[in-house]
Every structure is written in C-alpha cells, then in structure tokens.
Structure 1
Amino acid sequence: MTSLLNTLANALEQIVLEVTDIEASTVLWLDGDSDWANEIFPEAKSQSAFTISQESAFLFDFLIDAKAIWQQQDNKKLRSGLWTEVTTQGVELHLEAIAIKQASRNLLVICNQHESFNIQQQTKQVAREVLLSYDRLFLKSEYLHTRLLSILNQPSAENSQILTATAKIIENAEFAVIVASYDFNTSIENAAALRLFSQDKPLHKTQSRPIDIILTLMKNQLPEYQRLLSTHSSWNGELCWILPPSTLKWLKIGFHPVKNKLNDVENWIIFANDISTMKHLIQRNEQLALQDMLTKLPNRFAFWQMLEKHIATKCAFYLLYIDINDFRRHNEFYGHDEGDKLLIELSKRIRVGAKATDYFARVGGDEFAIIINNIDSKQACTQVIDRLLTQLARPFYTEQGEHYNVTISIGAACCPIDAVSAEELMKIADLSAYSGKNKKQNAIQFYSTSLRKASFSAIQIERELRQAIKHQEFELYLQPIIDVKTNHINKAEALLRWHHPKQGLISPEHFITIAEKTGLIINIGEWVIERTCQIAKQISELGVNLKISMNLSPSQVADDNLYNHLTQCIEQTQIDASLLELEITEGVLVDDYIVAEQLLKKVRALGISISVDDFGTGYSSLVYLKKLPLDFLKIDRTFIKEIVTDEHDKAIVRAVIGMAHTLNLCVIAEGVETEEQLSFLVNNACNSVQGFIFSRPIQLQSFITLLQQQNQHK
C-alpha cells in the first residue's frame, strides 16, 4: 500500500511531510519523490528528519499560519495558494502547500501545480480575448445608441424617415436591439434579439417577448429597478436568464430612456449581448469569477457574497455606494479608452483611501461599493469618506497630458440600523447616492427615513411639474429695480411662480432644484424666455422702454439650443433686444467659463445686457469679470442684511462697488428692506437697488399700475 501511495503522490506531483516539531518546523518525509522536490528540500537527501529553512520565504510565512491548524484538536486544513520558486536550473515551479490536521497527525503536503497554473493562464488569456471581442461589440452598441437617440429626438415626420434608413443597420447588428414605447410595447426588434431570447417551445401566444424577459430579470435581480423606472434613468449591467430545463444565459444589458423636453419617456432603447461564453471561461477560474477584469477589484457577485457574510456576523458596519458624476459625458468627450483609464485610476485612489480591512468592489459600469468594517457612527463614517475625497481631489490626466477633475456621489447606509438584508442595504445606499447626486461637486448623502420621503416627494413634484408645463400653470411676477439717482423704476426682474392646482402659489426655491436635476428646467426656461419677451413687448407698447431681466440656470447656459430659442422669441415678438437682460450666477461663470463666454458674446452682440447674480457668494472670480462682456453686478442679499451693523459686510459692499465701477460695471443691491440700508448704498455710489422697501414681486398688471403711477408723479 505504501508503494501505491508513493506512486500516486508522484503521479500527482505531490510530496507528503509529517511535522514532528511544530515550533522548529521539523518534518519527516513520508511519500513522494520528484526532482523538483529535491530541489526545494536538498537537506532531505541525507537525513530522514530535517528542518525547513527560511530560504523559501513564502513557505516559511505559511508555516507560521499553519501552526494554528496543527495546534488544534479538530481535523482541519489550510491552503497556501500558489507561489513560485525558481530551481538552480532556472525552472519555474508553481507550488501550493496544504497544512492538514488529521487523526492527531500534523501533515504538510506540497503540490507542484504547474499544469493547473498553465490551464489558468490559458483560461485567462482566452477570457481576455473574449472580453476584447465583447468590448468591440459594446462600442458598436454605444455608437448605435447615440445614433438612435438623435433620431428618436427628431420631430416625428423626420424621425420616421431616418429610422427607415437606419433599420438595415439595426437588423444586421451582431447584438440584440430593441426599441420600445414608453409603456414597453416593442416597435423595433432585430433578428439578433429574437435569436438571443428564443425559447425551446414553438412560438405561441404565451411565449414571452424579449422585452418582457429583460424587464422580469431586471425586476428580480436589481434592487434599484423601481428607482430606474421612476427616475427615468439609464442602466448598464449583467443579468442571468435561467429558463428550465435547458436555458442558462448571462446577458450584458444596456437600458436607456429617450426623453422629451418634459422629461417624459417617449421610447426605451435596449441592447443585449450574450456573454455566457465569457462567464463560462471566467467561472473555470475562481479568481476570475469573482474579479472585475478591468480594475482587478472584486466584482458585483463577489461583493454580494461578502455583504451577506458581513450581515450574518451581526456586527455593525457602513455600506458606501459610490457613483461617478457625468461619467457618460466623460466617455463621449475623451473616448472609452480614457474612460477605462479613469476607472482604473479612481479605483486605485479609493483603495488607498480605504483601510485594509474594508471591502472594496466595482459593482457597475461607473459604480463602486465599500463595506466599512467595525464602525457604527455617522461621524466615523464621515472621516472615512473624507479620506476618500482627499484622494480624489487631485486632478486626473489623459494620455495626452490634459488634466480634468472628477466628482462623485456617495450614498451611505448602516447595518443593522438602516437595514438588515443585502438587497435592502444596496437599495437604500443606491437611493442615497442618487438623491445626493450633484454633477458639479462631490455629494455625500446618509440614508434616513426622511430621505426616502424626500425622494418620493421629489418624484411626485417632477410628475406635477410636467403637468404644470403642459397646462401652463406658471406665471412671471416682476420685482421693480430702482435707480437711486432718479428714485424711479429703471428695470424689473422676472421671477417665476407656480400656480399649483392644490397647493396654490409656489415660489421657485421649492421646485427649481428638482427641475434642474430632472432636465425640466430647459423647458421651463424656454417658457420664461418666451413670456419675458411678451412682457417686454407689452410694456414697450405703453410707451415705456424698460429692461426686463431673467435668470438663466446652469443647464440653460450649457444648452446648445438656448441662443437659437432666444433669437426666435425676439423675432416673433419683434422687440428691441436691448429691453432684455440675462442674469447668470457667479458659479456658472467659473464652472463653465468657455461655454459662458461664447454665449455671452453672442447675446451681447444682439444688444442684450448681462448681469452677474448673487455676486460674492461663491467664488473669487475677478479675472472673469475682466474678460467677460458684462454690464451689471448684483450684490447678494446676504451682504445687505447686516450692512448697517456688520463692519465686514460694509467693507465687502464698498469694495465690490469700487471694483465694479473701476471695471465700468454698474451695481445693483438685492434685498434692500430698510431706510438705513438704502442710505448706506446711496452714500457709497450703488447704482440701483431692489427689495421689499420698494416692492415685493408683483403680477404684471400690478406692475403696470405702478409704472403708470410713477409716470403721473414725474
């Protein structure tokens, strides 16, 4: 039997050693006889028992861990994992050690795993080649997505003609393409989609459509499914389709809404690729099965496993869900290779910021998650997040040396305080990240019940805003701006109000943020421009040349159609463009300087004046004031409120007025409410003021009456 065991050990390229002295690492050679083993343990040739030397550093370190196994009474084993040794002849050995406690005997098995290693390497190489082929498919789907999106956003008459021309491209695509209506009725479905989702049974009425299968899989496998639908969001990821008795397919899905100006979904574009081959290759290697191939981080599957293990320990921890802001725009601007480079670099930086005991994974295209161990306080979690943000504060660089900055949105949830299941934790962390999402800066949002309520409230407000746009529920109020020299109205600011059918009059601070976040601000802003032009026309027909100013949101400034819409409104109402003024916040000038500069130069050429709103609240932008075509600075009301009693506010206001006049800019003070405030501003050469001391924002007819009364007293 001993001879047979020795033959078997040699065939398996193993040697079996018995540990006779745990502390000294003294062993006795039991079975196996190979040239490679003699290379590793040359001292074994001359004596039956020998001490393992420290020349093999990896094995020596493993023996330290193995002592814990050998010192126990129970039968156990511990594997070392692969390591590499090089023989005196330069041959690489890929070895693995197994420490075994069995029937009170302490054993050490050393295995030569070169065949297994070579198979793993071949599997990895094949997997990489398959991944590259899939990447090419994904790039093609991205191109087709962009093209379809532009087509579906065209007017109906044009879009049907272009769709017909594109149908051949869709039909010949190597991947499934589905275009559906807002309620998921399929309008286009190529042959690849039908092949991919073909079922064993012949076609009949009860057979599921491809889109139904995809939606069912998303609903069952994605915690964020309801959030995706309710917020009309895109999603990219993997789904597993199991249909007994014979179907098991892994699918790479791209799920994209096509929205109109009201942010209503008019169509859905869905792409699907069969990635089962890649998954099969990956699953042949445990490391690959749990690893994201791009960043080398644990993948979504590995993260879910670890999350469930942490929950089972019943120890408190925080889950962070991290989403890169504007990642799609980054890909479109710099290309997908640079997008991949960003993901790799960002993952490295976050890993540096996280502790070694934290578990960090890539769980989606531009989404990461971290399990922060052994903390149960918001303060401790915030300190971890601050470390992460510090790592991301440094600029990133492209291959060409261009630098850019990245911002992220972080959602945080605590187990067991916020939830006690993996699905619920992921769902609320995702919701928190989405709720705090800010494209211009890093956003951190801790989960709370009030957040959930606020999220549902935001969704409700968005729905009601779309109805408000359709039913013309908005109105522009006008607040007079007074020339301090003449004490007469020389301008008015148009301020938006919403006549809610149930809640009555709503001021913009209660809905503008949601309108901006959902994209509805573009449609609302276009209505404001149209209505402002009409008001300016109506007032001018009374024989009064009065400038009307209107606020532009950051999204409007970035909208390519803004200038065209503005000129169309001017032409339609046939007004003098000099009767209009645009107010842009200081932050927009700094964040989107190039875009703002191009826009301001064009509108200034029309005769429209430009005002910088809320000056002094955000940035030190003196260089922009010098370069941009501006006419007015508006001092924010926060500096005016304590201007009589606060010496710092007095100094700031004096400095702003002096600087503005040096740059040939006029100054308007907002929020003037008292005679003392007005007196200070007049004495310090402020040009114009607005505030409750003169008038609150009022409806158009009341404003016209105010103008008529003023003319009577001239």
Structure 2
Amino acid sequence: MTALLNDFLKAMDQIVLEAADIQTDQMRLVQGENKWSTQLFPELRTSVMLTIDERIPFLQDFLYDARLLWSGEHNKKLKSGLWTEDLPDGTELHLEATAIKQNSHNFLLIKNESEEFQFRQNTLQAAREILLSNDRLVEQNEYLHNRLLNILKDPLDNNQIQNTLSKVIENAEFGVFITDPDMNQIVENSAATKIFEQPTSPSSKPKPPLETIITLLDNQLPEYERILTTKSNWDGELCWMAPPTTLKWLKISIYPVKNDLNQVRHWILFVNDISNVKHLVQRNEQLALQDMLTELPNRYSFWQTLEQEIAKQSSFYLIYVDINEFRKHNEFYGHDEGDRLLKEIGQRIQNSIKHYDFVARIGGDQFAIILTDMSEQLQCERVLRRVINNLSAPFTSNTGQNFNITVSVGAVNFPRDAQSVPELMRFVDLSAHTNKNKRQMWVQFYTDEMKAASHREIELENELRLAIMNGEFELYFQPIIDLATDTIVKAEALIRWNHPEKGVINPDVFIPIAEKSELIITLGKWVISRACQVARQLCDLKHCIKISMNLSPSQVYDEDLYNYLCSCVTKYEVDPQKLEIEVTEGVLVESYTNTDLLLNKIRDYGLTVSVDDFGTGYSSLSYLKKLPIDYLKIDRSFVQDVATDDNDKAIVKAVIGMAHNLNLKVIAEGVETNEQLNFLVDNHCNSVQGYLFSKPVKLESFIDLLNDYTTTKE
C-alpha cells in the first residue's frame, strides 16, 4: 500500500511532509520522492528529515500561517499560492504548498505546478492574441459608426433608411442595430441575428435580439438611465444567460444620433460576441477577475467585492474616477499611449490608498475605489486629496513629452446615501457627472440636492430646446470704441433669452446648459446668421462697423461651422471684413490643432480674430505668435483696479507692450470710470468697451447710439 501511495504521489509530482514540531522548521518526509524534491531539499538524499530555512524564503514565510492553522482546534487546509524556485540544474520550478491539519497530524503538501503554470501562461497568451484580433473589429466599429452617422444625418423616409442602412451594415462581422429614439428597431444585420440564435424550444419562444439587449442593459448597467437621459455614448461588457444551454459574453457599444436641437433621432448599437475571450480568461481564476491591461481587478471582481462589502453592513465609501476627455488624448497621442496612461493612472490610484482598500478598472476610462470601514466624510476627503495630488503630477509620453490630465471624482457612502449596488452605482455616477469641470480636478460627494438639480437641468434643457424652436433669442450689442478716433468701430454681439414667463435670461444661466447638451452648436449658428443680418442692416444704414461674435469651444470642433459661416456671408451679402470671431484663451490651448486650422481658414476668408478674456486662462503666450490673431481683449478683472492697483497696472502695461510687439491690437473690457480710461489712453491701448460708454443694448438702441457717434472705417 505504501509503495502504491508513493507511486501515486510521484505521478502527481508532489511530496507530503509532516511537522515534527509546529514550533520549529523541522519537517519529516512522509511519502513521495522525486528529482526536484532532492534538489530543493538535498538532505532527503540521506535522511527523511529536512529543515525549511532561508534557502526557500517564500515557503519559510508560509510556515508562519501554517503554524497558526496547525495550532487550531479544527481540521482545515490553507494554500500558499504559486511561487517560483530556480534549481541548481537551471530548471525553473513552479510550486504550490498546502498546509493541512487532520486530527492530530499536521501535514505540508508541496506540489510541482509547472504544467499548470505553463497552461495558465498559454491561456493568457491565447487570450491576448484574441484581444489583438479584436482590434481589427474595433477599427471596423469606428469606421461603420462614422459612416452610419453621415447617412442618418440626412432626412430619409423609413423605406429609404431601411434599404440604405441594410446595405451598409450587412457585411459587418459584428451585430448592428439601428433604432428609433424609443429603442424600437428599424433594422438589424444578419450577424446580430446569428449572435442571439438559440436552440429551438417548443415550450418557449425566444425574445427578439434587441429586446434581449435592452433587458440586459436595464438589469446589469446602473448607468443605463443616465445614458438615455443625457444621450451619451457607452461601451462595455454584459453577460447573457438563457437556460439551459446559453451563456455568452457580449461587448456592446451604444451611440446616439442627434439633430441640431440635441434630440435623439436614432440609436446605433454594435454587439460583439467575446465569449471566446471570456472562456479563455475564466479558465484561469486570476485572469477571470483581472483587467487585462492594468492588471487591476475588473468590473466583475468589483461587483463581487461591492456586494460583499454591503453584506458586512459596515460603513464604506464608493468612489468613481472618470478621466476627462480621454478620447481626445487617444486621438492626439495614439491608442498605445492611451493604454500606457491607463496603466499609470491605475498604479497611481493604487499607491494612494491603503492596502486593504480596493481599486478596479470598471470601464474604458473609469476606475472605482472602495474605501472600507469608513464613515466620516473628512476621512474620505483626506484619501481623495492623495488621489488627486498623485493624478495631478505630470505624465510623460513615450517620446518624453509631459502632459497633464484631469479627472472627475464622485463619492457616495453606504449606508447613508444608498443601500444597494444599483443605487450606489447610480448615485456615484450622478455625483461624478454633476457640474463636471473638465479644466480642473473635480470631486463631488453625493447629496439629495443632486437629484433635484439634475431634474432642473433636464427641464431647463427642454425649455431651451423649445426656445430655439420658438425663436425666443435676441442679440444685444455693446459698442467698442477706438481711442485714437473716439468712434464706434466695432460691436460685440451678445445673446439673450427672452423667456415668455421668466423674462430676460442672461447667458451665464443657459450657456453652460447649452454647452453640456450640445445645443450650443445650434445656438452658435443662430448667432452667426443673425449677426450677418445685422451687419448687412447696419451697412445699409451707413454704419459699416464690424460685428464680433463669440465662438464656444464646442463650435471649434464643429466640422460644419466654416461652411455655415460662408453660406451666411453669401446669403446676406456681407463683407467678411465686417465680421470678427472671438475665442477664449482656454480654447487656444485645449484645442490648438482644431483652432489653428479653423482660424486660418476664417482669416483667409477675410474675418478678423480676437482672443477674449486674455490673462484669465492658461498661459498661451507661445501660441500668440503661431495662431492667426488680430486683437487681444484684456479681461475686466485686470481693468477693474487698474487706476489704483500697482500689480494690475504692471499686468496691463505688459500685455499692451507685448501685443504691440507682436503686431496685435489691444481691447480693454469692463471700462467703467474715467480714471481707468485715462490710464488705458496713456498706455496706448487701442480700443475699449464697458459701461462707461454703454451696456449691451437691443439693436434699436444700438442704432440710436451709433447715430450719436461719427463712425469711421477701421
């Protein structure tokens, strides 16, 4: 029997030791002997006794935990996990130890897991290769997405849409669905049908594929409600189970197709079956719970951990970290650099928290943190300060270029704010995306007021959309005075909302909502059209002055802006030299490539360009000599105390001097007193605007104002 057991253990490539005394490192060989064991423990060549010492530090450390188990009262076992040893003959050995207490015996089983280790490595490599092959599908996904957007922008009747889209999507290697705004299917391709095929069952009729997807989204995606209400993109993984035989992992991407009023006209859904990848990954327990890129826990592991924390009924904080404008980073630096950034962000977050806290990558550019056993907000704030500080430090690209990122951080407490996984996820998502400021690190703790504020924002967006449809907007004009001639040479066009119940609403209230909802593109086009009309009207009245229009950051990215501007100039027969575009200093830095391209085209067409709010944003001095700019507008914050504050005096003098050396003209905003005006005149400022001359006024009042001035061509 002993010989048989020995042969069995040898075949299993393992040995069994028994602790001679649990207080020492002395062990006795019970059964099993093989080549690697005598190399690992040379004393086994002449004796059944051996000592586990510093020659095998991993195993020596494991003995500490093993003794605790052996000294207990109950039969138990404990595994060490894999470790690697280099044998004298050059062989690399991958071992795992198991401490076992069985009645009065204390065993240590050591097994050679080299085959299992190699299997796991091969599994990992196979999974990586499949992921690489998926890159091709991702490229197809992007191409098809852009093509479908172009098709769906055109107003087609249902038959035309179905015929055109069916031809475009039929040869895609992944599932494609096109729906109406309410997620009712318009068309699907054959790949989508194939993904959701099931063995026929006489007792039940399978759901249509799109209905299955919507059910999965509703059940497994806490953000689903926000995605629909905010008309956002989303991509991620969902698990589809249809007993008795179907279990598939699906990678799903959702894209809205919106009209000029930011209303959803269609939804595009892409579905990839990634079950093969998941199958390979899940054959390796570690990989099943690990994000392949960052090696952090993945969304599935995070979900499990979150449920376990709730089950403990101890207070904890859930943190959501979203990288701002990650897509732009990928476009600028490339996807490889994007992957490097994600890995480093994950590492920096991990270095900011305690070892017993938990961090996972739960989406493309999203991370989640669970701060365990924490009930006080001040404690949480201290941790988040470390996270923010670490993420604020510059990152370095592969080419040695330094850059910075910003993140939006949401925080929610269990059980004070929410008591279930879906609630926690919805609320932390809402907090991270409330009043999101992409220029700064943003931390927001969840409050009940957020719900109400979110509803108010949605209501205001709906009112804004109706206002655009009902023509409730009006341009006001503030004159810009040339100091050399004391004439009005220009006017800044400023939009106002004439609400039927609330009266005149200033842009500070509705422009942020317009920016967030993308209605700013439609509003911006209305401003351009109306400004061109006014420029033509003023010229007909012999007041051929320049009209200046503000350009929002979103408009810089609007591919249709330049063509629309040209069409308005042609339609209203306006001299382009009587129009000006204003961009803020921040736009110059954040969108340099787009801004440079757009402003050069605008300048070539005949318009002039000014930089608004100069001095309040990022340092953009290096861009002033590169970009096509005609004017700098000194922000009112510097002009306000320029007559009395030496620092403001120095700043304004420096800006004027620098601008003139670069052949730029200077406009000072917010001039309200004669003392301010005198200082600006003495320091050769070119133009001014402010309440000293006029507030922004309606067109009729502005024409009266012009009639009081003698105007000259600039």
**What's the TM-score once normalised by structure 1's chain length?**
0.91
- Is contact 1:353-1:387 (8 Å) kept? no
> CA shift at 1:349, angstroms?
4.4
Deviation larger for 78-87 or 349-358: 349-358
Q: 1:594 to 1:114 in 2, by over 3 A?
A: closer
Does 2:624 match 1:625?
yes
Give the equivalent residue in structure 2 for 1:301. 300
Q: Give the secondary-structure state (helix, strand or coil) at the position aligned to 1:673.
A: coil
Give the equivalent residue in structure 1 for 2:382. 380
Give the equivalent residue in structure 2 for 1:81. 81
Does 2:608 match 1:609?
yes
The 5-angstrom pairing of residues 619-698 of structure 1 reads 619-698=618-697
- Is contact 1:395-1:406 (8 Å) kept? no
Give the equivalent residue in structure 2 for 1:267. 266
The 5-angstrom pairing of residues 308-707 of structure 1 reads 308-332=307-331, 336-373=335-372, 376=376, 377=378, 378-391=380-393, 393-397=394-398, 405-484=404-483, 487-707=486-706
> CA shift at 1:259, angstroms?
1.6
Give the equivalent residue in structure 1 for 2:120. 120
AA aligned opposite 1:94: H
Q: 1:122 to 1:669 in 2, by over 3 A?
A: closer
- Is contact 1:360-1:369 (8 Å) kept? yes
Please list the CA deviations of residues 49-105 of structure 1 after superposition, one character each: whole Å capped at 9, or x if unmatched: 432232122211211232222233333322101122344444443221111233243
Deviation larger for 409-418 or 25-34: 409-418
Please list the CA deviations of residues 349-368 of structure 1 after superposition, one character each: whole Å capped at 9, or x if unmatched: 44445554442222112222
Q: 1:203 to 1:314 in 2, by over 3 A?
A: closer
Q: Give the secondary-structure state (helix, strand or coil) at the position aligned to 1:23.
A: coil
Task: For 1:205 and 1:577, locate their aligned partners in 2 and report how far apart those are by CA, in whole Å.
Answer: 68
Give the equivalent residue in structure 1 for 2:226. 227
Q: Give the secondary-structure state (helix, strand or coil) at the position aligned to 1:208.
A: coil
Q: 1:388 to 1:23 in 2, by over 3 A?
A: same
Task: For 1:418 and 1:325, locate their aligned partners in 2 and report how far apart those are by CA, in whole Å.
Answer: 25
Q: Give the secondary-structure state (helix, strand or coil) at the position aligned to 2:278.
A: helix
Task: For 2:670 and 2:189, locate their aligned partners in 1 and report how far apart those are by CA, in whole Å.
Answer: 60
> CA shift at 1:121, angstroms?
3.4
Q: 1:139 to 1:583 in 2, by over 3 A?
A: closer
Task: For 1:628 and 1:191, locate their aligned partners in 2 and report how far apart those are by CA, in whole Å.
Answer: 50
- Is contact 2:474-2:497 (8 Å) kept? yes
The 5-angstrom pairing of residues 5-154 of structure 1 reads 5-6=5-6, 8-154=8-154
Q: 1:306 to 1:685 in 2, by over 3 A?
A: same
> CA shift at 1:222, angstroms?
0.7
Give the equivalent residue in structure 1 for 2:287. 288
Deviation larger for 63-72 or 6-15: 6-15
Gaps of at least 5 residues in structure 2 are: none
Aligned residues: 708
Task: For 1:240 and 1:14, locate their aligned partners in 2 and report how far apart those are by CA, in whole Å.
Answer: 38
AA aligned opposite 2:365: D
Q: Give the secondary-structure state (helix, strand or coil) at the position aligned to 2:179.
A: strand
> CA shift at 1:625, angstroms?
3.1
Task: For 1:592 and 1:453, locate their aligned partners in 2 and report how far apart those are by CA, in whole Å.
Answer: 33
> CA shift at 1:339, angstroms?
4.0
Task: For 1:6 and 1:606, locate their aligned partners in 2 and report how far apart those are by CA, in whole Å.
Answer: 90
Q: 1:244 to 1:103 in 2, by over 3 A?
A: same
Task: For 1:381 and 1:53, locate their aligned partners in 2 and report how far apart those are by CA, in whole Å.
Answer: 40
**What's the TM-score once normalised by structure 2's chain length?**
0.91
- Is contact 2:392-2:404 (8 Å) kept? no
Give the equivalent residue in structure 1 for 2:175. 176
Deviation larger for 117-126 or 498-507: 117-126
Does 2:245 match 1:246?
yes
AA aligned opposite 1:639: F
Deviation larger for 199-208 or 358-367: 199-208
Q: Give the secondary-structure state (helix, strand or coil) at the position aligned to 2:363.
A: coil
- Is contact 2:388-2:441 (8 Å) kept? no
- Is contact 1:397-1:403 (8 Å) kept? no
Task: For 1:90 and 1:624, locate their aligned partners in 2 and report how far apart those are by CA, in whole Å.
Answer: 60
- 4+ residue stretches of structure 1 with deviation over 6 A? 159-163, 202-206
Task: For 1:121 and 1:358, locate their aligned partners in 2 and report how far apart those are by CA, in whole Å.
Answer: 28
Q: 1:448 to 1:49 in 2, by over 3 A?
A: same
> CA shift at 1:533, angstroms?
0.8
Task: For 1:200 and 1:7, locate their aligned partners in 2 and report how far apart those are by CA, in whole Å.
Answer: 47
Task: For 1:381 and 1:230, locate their aligned partners in 2 and report how far apart those are by CA, in whole Å.
Answer: 32
Q: 1:594 to 1:177 in 2, by over 3 A?
A: closer
Q: 1:39 to 1:667 in 2, by over 3 A?
A: closer
- Is contact 1:666-1:687 (8 Å) kept? yes
- Is contact 1:316-1:415 (8 Å) kept? yes
- Is contact 2:391-2:405 (8 Å) kept? no
Task: For 2:382 and 2:484, locate their aligned partners in 1 and report how far apart those are by CA, in whole Å.
Answer: 57
Q: Give the secondary-structure state (helix, strand or coil) at the position aligned to 1:618.
A: coil
Please list the CA deviations of residues 284-330 of structure 1 after superposition, one character each: whole Å capped at 9, or x if unmatched: 22112111223222111111122233344455443332223333344
AA aligned opposite 1:380: R
